[in-house]
Amino acid sequence: MKILVVDDHPLIQQALAHALPALHGAIDVVAALDREQALTALARHPDCALVLLDLTLPGAHGLDLLAQLRRDFPLLPVVVLSATHDRATVGAAMAAGAQGYIAKTSTPDELLDAVRTVLEGGRSVTTRMASTAPRVGGIPGEALGLTHRQADVLRLLLQGKPNKLICRDLRLSEGTVKVHVSAILKALNVRSRAQAIAELSRRGVVIDGTSYADTH
């Protein structure tokens, strides 16, 4: 199994190369220091199972690369590994399609647990923001002023899915999905997906088992 690590700090690269094989003895860590190296590495190693992505990269913001990875490699899970873990940044990354977010202050065991969860098809946020928000069994549509169908759309939207995939998953027309998205943003009094996550975070909402609430 190959994991691509995109981080411009050699010490981080070395630490991850040492830690990740504890998941699986045959893990091969592929290193990239910036956006161009990351894309080249994926072209050379199309069998990469996961990307660990820092948000602070030379010449580009990690969120821009995340958006490109979601567009060009929609089935490749991406986990953000960053020293920045404020609510807005975590929300923006998850809204952009990251399957996980790991603070660089996390312990090695937390890192491995998060990577393992994502490799198994789950989502994980390993920061102080992810511990004690009230569980509400998904998105409570009524509490947010949404219909049941709008709550379904919001859940998929926050997984980073574009409208076309939401249409497919819910068997709705693209026009109907656009109407629902507009209604959702209006109900939350926000203008974008990233702002929607930040607002849900402020309210302490748990989405599909992942909490975005600030606990400090």
Average pLDDT value for residue range 10-23: 88
Task: In whole angstroms, give the CA distance from residue 14 to residue 128.
Answer: 25
Q: Is 195 helix (H, G, I), strand (E, B) or coil?
A: helix
pLDDT of residue 30: 95
pLDDT band at 36 (very low <50, low <70, confident <90, very high): very high
pLDDT of residue 216: 31
pLDDT digits (tens, 9 = 90+) for 44-77: 999 999 999 998 888 888 888 998 999 999 999 9
% of the chain with per-residue pLDDT over 70:
82
pLDDT of residue 165: 87
Taking a C-beta distance cutoff of 8 angstroms, is the pair 38, 32 a contact?
Answer: yes
Alpha helix ranges (H) inside 34-173: 35-44, 62-72, 87-95, 108-119, 141-144, 148-157, 163-170
Kindly list the distances between the CA atom of residue 137 and the CA atoms of 91, 117, 146, 208, in Å, as whole numbers in the listed order.
Answer: 19, 19, 15, 7
Average pLDDT value for residue range 18-42: 91
User: β-strands 100-103, 28-32: how paired?
Assistant: unpaired
Task: In whole angstroms, give the CA distance from residue 162 to residue 160.
Answer: 6
Task: In whole angstroms, give the CA distance from residue 27 to residue 195.
Answer: 36
Task: In whole angstroms, give the CA distance from residue 115 to residue 172.
Answer: 33
Domains and CATH numbers, the chain: 2-130 (3.40.50.2300), 141-211 (1.10.10.10)
